[in-house]
Structure 1
Amino acid sequence: MSQIEVRPPLLANADGVYRIHIIGNSGSGKSTLGKELSNLLGLPHIPLDSLFWKPGWVQSTNEEFCQRIREKLDSSPRGWIVDGNYTSMGAGFVTGEANNVIWLDPPLLLYFPRVMWRTLLRLLRLREPCSPGCAERPAEVFFSRESILWWCLTNHFRFKRKTQGWMADPSFAKRTVHLAGWGSEYRRWWSSVVSMVKDHAKSI
């Protein structure tokens, strides 16, 4: 009788190095998970927003952006945790170098209220902006096509379709954990990650 191979919640390379790329629509929880994994694994958390946006919402050129990413990855040989997408800006090589891709895919009805709350806190300066010097402004939040709220609504299904297309590639799919649903799937996966780390610590 053949045994079914159980995939660990996170994959390491032969040297035990975790290179994790967290993807998902705006507001899906990428940065929150990135910080939690960073604390758990002791690895640097690299949010792509902070590398792309200059103060005053000035965009980096693709060359500048990719160079900053390259420097961050090269300075973290023991592993890293990157959150963000930016494939259209040239950042697709992050996914290629990751041995774990975590796709956060909760329902829009679950996370859009969180995006609204986060945006309100940023408007009131009660939460840090996505990148230093990039404060949210009411006119842009409520009356602009550049609004993060509008982007979140219009990009949800577009990003889902695009990532489903990537999943058709076996080399992508075998490295990817797809966390959908209303939270139970996410919580089970997170619990298994914590257990894996604890078991590893006991074996040392």
Structure 2
Amino acid sequence: MAPPPPLVGDAHGNYRVHIVGNSVGKGLADLLGVPFIPLDTLFWKPGWKQSTNDELRAKVEQALANAPNGWVVDGNYHSKIGTVVEDQSTDVICAFSSLPGCQNNTDAPALTGLDPPLALYLPRVIWRTFLRLLRLREPCSPGCSEMVSEVFFSRESIVWWCITQHRIVRERESARMAQIGIGIGSDVDKQKMRRIGGWGEELRAWFRDVKRMLQCE
């Protein structure tokens, strides 16, 4: 059986990609030549003020409408905006760390290894957060500089979110993969989901496959 393509796209060679997991979106958007749309930037207002669900959905819908030839959306605000991104996407990429026995192929067995252990990626999240605290990395949204009190003592912090939402996200994305995974999905009309390793050779190999695919178009 032939391996699935690195991206599905539409019948006109346009790619609307939703990235879930480790951030690979900017590099992919640059490669495809389409706008990069990070949902964190749309959600957070200066001073760490949150957009309402209606505000966020309107911002997302407008951003997608402004990119008719394709886009790469990074982030997952399913509880706030529903499936507005997923419904319009041609591809849903789960970019997570590779785990033994869970390589990306059409013969993949159970989806228990969809996400990396919390102990693996939480230190990486903390490290990126420290870089933002030291102003060595751009904030997730303009006017939203990291503060020690927010990072470690707020329930809105990314560190707290990772700890409390890890199992919830794992179960939700496993269910989506079971339905719309290429080669193994149960919904054959909407198979557009791929799982790739968020770090290491698997991710690099996938980017090489995308480049070769674009060169052949």
Q: TM-score range by the shorter chain?
A: 0.7 to 0.9
Q: What is the CA distance between 1:6 and its match in structure 2?
A: 3.2
Contact 2:96–2:195 under 8 Å retained in 1: yes
Contact 2:61–2:84 under 8 Å retained in 1: no
% identical aligned pairs: 50
Matched residue, 2:10: 13
Q: What is the CA distance between 1:39 and its match in structure 2?
A: 1.2
| Structure 1 residue ranges without an equivalent (≥5) | none
1:171–1:53: structure 2 CA closer, same or farther, 3 Å change rule? farther
User: TM-score, length-normalised on structure 1?
Assistant: 0.86
Contact 2:44–2:141 under 8 Å retained in 1: yes
Matched residue, 1:189: 206
1:69–1:57: structure 2 CA closer, same or farther, 3 Å change rule? same
* Structure 2 counterpart SS, 1:81: strand
Range moving further from structure 2, 185-194 or 131-140: 185-194
Higher-helix-fraction structure: 1
* 1:137-175 Cα shifts (integer Å, max 9, x gaps): 101212233221121223223211111112232349710
Q: Does 2:130 match 1:120?
A: yes
Instruction: Give the one of 171, 176, 183 matched to 1:166.
Output: 176
Q: Does 2:96 match 1:86?
A: no
* Structure 1 counterpart SS, 2:71: strand
Contact 1:105–1:160 under 8 Å retained in 2: no
The amino acid of 2:74's aligned partner reads: D
Q: 1:7, 1:124 → 2: CA distance?
A: 42
Q: 1:87, 1:134 → 2: CA distance?
A: 22
* Structure 2 counterpart SS, 1:166: helix
* 1:157-196 Cα shifts (integer Å, max 9, x gaps): 3211111112232349710011247633322222211221
Matched residue, 2:155: 145
Give the length in aligned residue pairs: 191
Q: 2:157, 2:57 → 1: CA distance?
A: 24
Q: Does 2:193 match 1:179?
A: no
Q: 2:58, 2:51 → 1: CA distance?
A: 10
Contact 1:85–1:91 under 8 Å retained in 2: no
5 Å matches for 1:31-46? 33-46=24-37
